[in-house]
Structure 1
């Protein structure tokens, strides 16, 4: 007899839900993490993926790659997806393959960034300031300055091409990654340069290709490393621009001059492959010899002349012309002009040759000095008037100078300068011609001679001489006068206008009035002349007393002269024989005459001493 079957109780709906919740709770699934899922179906362009939740999630096929298709997936394939939400409003799990790939990439990239390793990516888009790079799901920014070692105009050949990059900066919280392609290239170039530099030696001759040309030289590609061919090492001659010697793309033979192992810089030269034209330069161009050359360059301080290819000399501006001193060299010679020059100095060590242009021409200063000794009279145009004199044009294009002190004997230099104008013709006398100092001194006042030294009649100009004066100015302290016969200025002090104090008034004279006087001071060195009317009156009285007798009786000079005239009239009837005989003086007359002479001498001496003292006290008036 069979046993009766026991019935199994089926769980209720609530019990089933509780069991499901319990099973789900045991699954460690968290939002925001990458989980593994199984492809359970393919619907058009969407893959249905089960990650072990209540419902499946849907992921677009394009998230698996830009070229992904439904044929690439099979039911049962295991894929990594990113769980954004366990359940959305429709009760489905929200999954993302793209975010899963990004999370995976971030983990790998952070590890490589930590170890300073390169990463691989593709430039896929251009943005402001640079480009975006796909690093296997993670998007990074490539600044424009980090694309290449040198600026790149066309980046299209680099787009969508897998290539290495170096991570410069990562910020996972902001989702920011900055990469560089340039650092990879520089590192690669440095490795290659080190390898190439290790094979090169100074003095080695190699071939290279002109890669780039600048104002200061050309860069030569030596097969992976660039060397600089400086413009000064291109040729022994002067090179204005490197393009005169090489062009981009030319293959040139160069010599390695220097290798800097630290900076890995290589200096190259072409002229070193040729003979140095400066060898034995002193014997080829001895000092004093003359040569023909070509003007290659003109500067503010002179001009360079090529004597032969690679050998240039400098004509300093001071050696260009005997007469043109303050002009630009370009106004004397021009570039490419053929000129004759004289070697002045050779410095083989410094590779310098000093040349002279004016030395090949006649020195006008020497020629003038030889043909115009001191004292020669010349005539020329007044070329310039300065505060210290005149410049007169002379033969040979040179100038002579008339100093202010050599313009006029009697006028001051500033006053005499007003009598001349630029462009007028003027005569002068050569005072000194110094060819070595290139200086010619002229004088205008010397044309007439110094009235103090050698004018006709100058032997009369001495103290005590009688002269005729003409009033030129009336002053409170006296009179400015001119010696008529000598054309010299002189001065009459107020005290010297008369013996009588009442007559010592300058205002009683007028300009142009003439009178006689006696010179009381004659100083040729300081060019001073003082005259006195008073001294003349005293001298005349002395002569009269000496001739006609004493004035002890109180008679005036006029009385004495009148008596003398009357006596002479009474004797008109005397025989001629008696007039011829000398009259015999009585003892009284002789004594009176002697006494009168003594008194006259004392009076004259006192007046002269008084005049001398007054002249000393008022010497300042004389200067006026």
Structure 2
């Protein structure tokens, strides 16, 4: 060490320290300080004075939780008496009016903190300048939301500015409306039928879901949610959900309001494009709806077919509608496919089979009178497809009037099958009044042309003649 270089004396060090030390601070003054200690909501900050200044913050404040010892922060003087009080926000009443002036002249928003509620509105701190926001201009509809806004920071539009009187009126609502109108203008440019848009579900009703497209709201009708039948909109969507939709149309209704129709279904794969059914194929389906003209059956995802009454048969026998219930699983046959109209006709297995009798001579059955003809009485089995003749000569009454009176159409009688000839013709007798009729007698009768005149079942017998 050189001889002329001496260590500074204590007096020199003290003088240098006092020269660097801040003697006095002003309210609202902006300073840089170093965090010395963080303890129970109080932050001790070295701002260059003999004693640390104090910054009070709520322990649940995110800014408080982010502070650490040794960290350099910007602070504002809120109290000049010992201990010096500090704030992280500009101190209202000692602010920079140029910040507000520049924002007003440029028509740009300024960031401000809602300080407190006062008569008719709220005090807003913008760069330390005390501003007034009318209650209607804060942009919240109810008192709870307004109360929750105190202590929060938002952007505001300067709607009145008088620098000489330091009168500043601000509005958050005006800024929200301006941005909403700008968003609507941008969204409207995209409203081209067939375009695909992004949106958010804002409300759900029984008839569909309202989707916010960005300032404009469209409706996805329940029928446009899916290719499958949707019973409840809530089963498919929920409020707040982000969705992709296709624009079907925009129109003005009778009340002059704009209506925007949207579809989610139009963006989903069409199940008809991959349908691989063939006519005659047997498939398993589930009954989804019963009407007076048939039964609707779900045979594939999003594809329902109709089982009409005319195909509601098995082995030639009609099946009653009461035999079906919603949710029932059953096998059906694909009768017809119309991809253009998106329709599938279904039939029960055996729907096109002819009715066949299982009767043999000597069997008894209940039969219904079809008609009285000169040869006797034509009858149809109730529980069997067999139909045939009770010959006149086997009846106790021989006059036609007596036979007609005894056997009115649709009257029912117990009969016995007497014979099935080699032509498949059935001969019956009344139960308890049996007498066989030979085939020659029946052939002789059928050879008489007049015997079959006015007989609606003549073709039945002739086809078997």
* Pair in the same fold by TM > 0.5: no
Asked which structure has the greater CA Rg, the reply is 1
Richer in helix (by share):
1
Richer in strand (by share):
2
What TM-score do the two structures reach when normalised by structure 1?
0.35
What TM-score do the two structures reach when normalised by structure 2?
0.45
